[in-house]
Amino acid sequence: MKTLQSFKARTGEPFGAPLPATTPEQVDAAAAAANAAFASWSASPGSTRAALLRALAAALETDREGLVALADEETALGPVRLNGELDRTAFQLRRFADIAERGVPFATTNDPAVAGPPPAGHPAMVRLRVPLGPVAMFSASNFPFAFSVLGGDTASALAAGCPVVVKAHSGHLLLSNRVFGLVQQVLKSQNLPAGLVGMIQGGGSDVGVRLVRHPSIAAGAFTGSTRGGAALQAEASARPRPIPFYGELGSINPVVALPAILATRGAELASTLAGSIAMGCGQFCTSPGVIVLLNDPASDAFVQQLTTALAGQKPHAMLTPGMRSAFDVGVTHMAAAGAQPLLHEAGSAEAPRPFLAQVDAADFIARTQLREEVFGPSSLIVRAASVAEALDVLNAVGGSLTVTLWGAEDDNADTRALVRGATAIAGRVLFAGVPTGVAVTAAQQHGGPWPSSTQPMSTSVGDAALERFLRPVALQDAPAWLLARKGLPC
């Protein structure tokens, strides 16, 4: 029997007893159990879905002390960050409970019949949405609560009427198993099928690939690396019946800072940006990996201010030894590709030091290695000669979860061009603050063009995340009893 081992993030030593890896037969059983639960759950009223989601939120909060302590050992993210993340996770669950209870998943568009011949005349039509089916959900490494077993993907899928099979992340196995135990207790207490939320675990790709290939799985939701997400998307597309795969992948999140604002607020913005680069040891999908500056004395001063501010940051240990090694490889490749290091100090085996480098726009555009995400506390300054060249830099990025524009307060040709360029490549454009931190709101868009996500029309955060797991259907001349269900599936 294959086993999996959890490790303490700060020391690398084994943590807890080995856990059994999920067998191929168990993967199939989890998918089949989710499929068996689908009929009743997809036809459940919003009140039933809301009751489950609220009970899951309460279960997390009740076990807060134990969960946070366990998560801290496995991730080194610290109790302050982890308590805040648990709060966010409970908030997401309750928010989607409210959405389900308000009947949002069952919303319909009623188009009464119009007498006469077409094209003006038409039969009675009602457009509604139906749940897709069981969802394969892949936990993220860097958010052990909010993008894991009971994270936003699970919450939105359940609110939409879809069962979930979670692939636990190997970076927080013990935490995932403890949370899954809470899930099963809540399901039992509400007389819901255990298969409504399943969980599998494995160290390689075999378990996840088998889950995506299973014919009962109707959609995939993933947060992680571009390489891993692209591989799973290919599997989802290669099935005899392809399924949608919603992957939130790598992103370098450019920050464009114009000289005028740097001349008046450079030191303040440098301090803010340094904190964002080092936050969570840089292990955020929205960490600012590229800083675009126009050639100007204010930009020169800002580079020095940022270098000094970043040198004062003290990142904690990274999530796994593999990520720590990958960070070192990433900054080495960046320097080898022509980036001039401005801050490059040796760190410990677990905790890296911040890395900052600089390159001109022409080299950044010409060399794809400089546009690869380095997961950790690093950033690359790109110096552009003009706004037009800064736009070429954004275009070379290709796709990003965010773009931040500092200094675009005035309406002129340059700022309009920058806004056009930013919205062309990003799902979220900021005009103040930093990109780290993704609010759970009605208007949030967490997803952008490739390679930041596989489905740029969807979001993995916010109320609209629910839309990923619902499919529109039109009912023509439907009988009265069916219309009386008001969008609730049969």
Residue with tokens 């009743």: 40
Distance separating alpha carbons of residues 203 and 199, to the nearest angstrom: 14
Question: How far is residue 16 from each of residues 5, 322, 323, measured CA to CA in Å?
Answer: 8, 19, 21
Picking from 196, 188, 148, the residue whose alpha carbon sits closest to that of residue 170 is: 148
Catalytic residue among 235, 281, 285, 350: 285
Question: How far is residue 8 from each of residues 5, 57, 318, 321, measured CA to CA in Å?
Answer: 10, 26, 11, 10
Q: CB–CB of 165/198 below 8 Å?
A: yes
Q: What is the 3-state secondary structure (H, E, C) of 155-211?
A: HHHHHHCCCEEEECCHHHHHHHHHHHHHHHHHHHHCCCCHHHEEEECCCCCHHHHHH
Residue with tokens 């989607």: 96
Residues paired with residue 2 on neighbouring β-strands, in sequence order: none
Residue 248 catalytic?
yes
Residue 285 catalytic?
yes
**What single-letter amino acid sits at 125?**
M
Q: How far is CA 226 from the centre of its chain?
A: 12
Q: CB–CB of 161/42 below 8 Å?
A: yes
Q: CB–CB of 425/399 below 8 Å?
A: yes
Q: CB–CB of 473/129 below 8 Å?
A: yes
Residues paired with residue 273 on neighbouring β-strands, in sequence order: none
Q: CB–CB of 380/291 below 8 Å?
A: yes
**What single-letter amino acid sits at 222?**
F
Q: CB–CB of 35/133 below 8 Å?
A: yes
Residue with tokens 């009912």: 475
Catalytic residue among 101, 235, 248, 350: 248
Catalytic residues, by residue number, are: 248, 285
